[in-house]
Chains A and B, each alone.
Chain A
Amino acid sequence: KNEVEQSPQNLTAQEGEFITINCSYSVGISALHWLQQHPGGGIVSLFMLSSGKKKHGRLIATINIQEKHSSLHITASHPRDSAVYICAVRSLDSNYQLIWGAGTKLIIKP
C-alpha cells in the first residue's frame, strides 16, 4: 500500500462545478502540501498545511491530522484549472523528505 493515496486518479467536470480531491496518508507528518502541475511539467506549490484549513482565491485545502486525510476543493471551476493536482507529505519517518501521491488529473470542460 502506498504511503500517500489520492482519489480520484482522474476527474472530468463541467465548468462551474465544485471539485474535491482527496488525499490519505499513513505516515507521521510535519506538513502536507498540495501542488499543481500543468502540461509541460512545471510544479506550483498551492498550499502547505499542518492543521486546519487554508483558502486562496477559489482554492480551499483542509487537513484532519487525526484521520490522516486532506482535501483540496476548487469552487466555480474553470478550464484553466485543468492540471494534475499532487498531494505530498513531509514525513517524520523519512527525515522530513516529501512523499508524493500519484496525482489527480483534472479536466474542466467549458
Chain B
Amino acid sequence: KAGVTQTPRYLIKTRGQQVTLSCSPISGHRSVSWYQQTPGQGLQFLFEYFSETQRNKGNFPGRFSGRQFSNSRSEMNVSTLELGDSALYLCASSLAPVTQGYEQYFGPGTRLTVT
C-alpha cells in the first residue's frame, strides 16, 4: 500500500503570494490532518478533514484554509504569504477521525520557503 504523498516537496514563494499544497492519503483513509512545523513553534495542528468536511481547526488565521475532495485527497491553501509562514507542512491520514482513536500516518511534508 502506498503511503501518504505530498506535493510539491519543496516550494519557494514570495511575500504576498498564495500557495496550494496537496496531500493524498493512504488508500482507504478518509481523514486527513494538516500540521505546521517551525523551529520556533514546533508542530502545530492546522485542521482535520473527514468526508469532505472540516472536523476541527487549530489556532491559525483565516489565511490558512483547506478542503477535501470526494477521493479523500486534501489541499491546503495559504493566501497572502508572510515570512513567518516558512515551515514544513505535514499531512497525516487515518481511517477515521482522530477522535475515534485511529493511528495517523504522516507524509514526507512540503517545505515552504517564503522570501
Contacts and interface: CB of A to CB of B under 8 A. Distances in A.
B109 A30 contact: no
A57 interface: no
B16 interface: no
Contacts of A30: 101
A45 B104 CA distance: 8
A42 interface: yes
B43 A88 contact: yes
Interface residues of B, number: 23
Contact of A86 (B43, B98, B103): B43
17 contacts: A31-B101, A33-B104, A40-B108, A41-B37, A42-B107, A42-B108, A42-B109, A45-B104, A45-B105, A86-B43, A90-B98, A95-B99, A97-B48, A97-B58, A98-B43, A100-B44, A103-B42
A31 B101 CA distance: 8
Contact of A43 (B56, B90, B98, B101): B90
Nearest to B48: A97
B98 A96 contact: yes
B49 interface: no
A48 interface: yes
Interface in A74-110: 86, 88, 90, 95-98, 100-103
Interface residue range, chain A: 20 to 34
Q: Is the interface of A mostly helix, strand, loop or mixed?
A: strand
A45 B108 contact: no
Interface of B: 35, 37, 42-45, 48, 56, 58, 88, 90, 92, 98-99, 101, 103-109, 111
B43 A48 contact: no
Interface in A33-82: 33, 35, 40-45, 48
A44 B103 CA distance: 11
A62 B115 CA distance: 43
A96 B99 contact: yes
